[in-house]
Amino acid sequence: GAVVSQHPSWVICKSGTSVKIECRSLDFQATTMFWYRQFPKQSLMLMATSNEGSKATYEQGVEKDKFLINHASLTLSTLTVTSAHPEDSSFYICSASPLTGGTEAFFGQGTRLTVV
């Protein structure tokens, strides 16, 4: 199947700093990527839809100024958690579907963010 890669796999940052997470589609192009967040023992929660060349679409209750999304190319979307706080500690996961081919979405391996 298609490969989606996230970087970093894990990150620890100090409270008040910003953290950038990258999501890359390695062998296909995607005009749309999705960002999810998952707290321990909970399901994935969709945060936002990243649109190549335009603004991201955020789900209700997700602060767009706190979670900055940039989709600069057909193979890269970034999520920046600004002024991170301990409550932002979570597992962040991205997904993408190829422009051509099947309709299934492929997920990155996730990024574990710990804010101390």
Residues that bind other proteins (CB under 8 A): 1, 4, 6, 30-32, 34, 36, 43-46, 49, 91, 93, 95-100, 103-110, 112
DSSP-assigned states of every residue in 38-56: E-TTS--EEEEEEETTS--
Q: Which is nearer to other proteins, 100 or 116 (CB)?
A: 100
- CB-wise, 14 or 103, nearer to other proteins? 103
Q: How far is the CB of 20 from other proteins (least distance, A)?
A: 18
| Residues 9/72, Cβ–Cβ less than 8 Å | no
Residues 18, 82 contacting (CB under 8 angstroms): yes
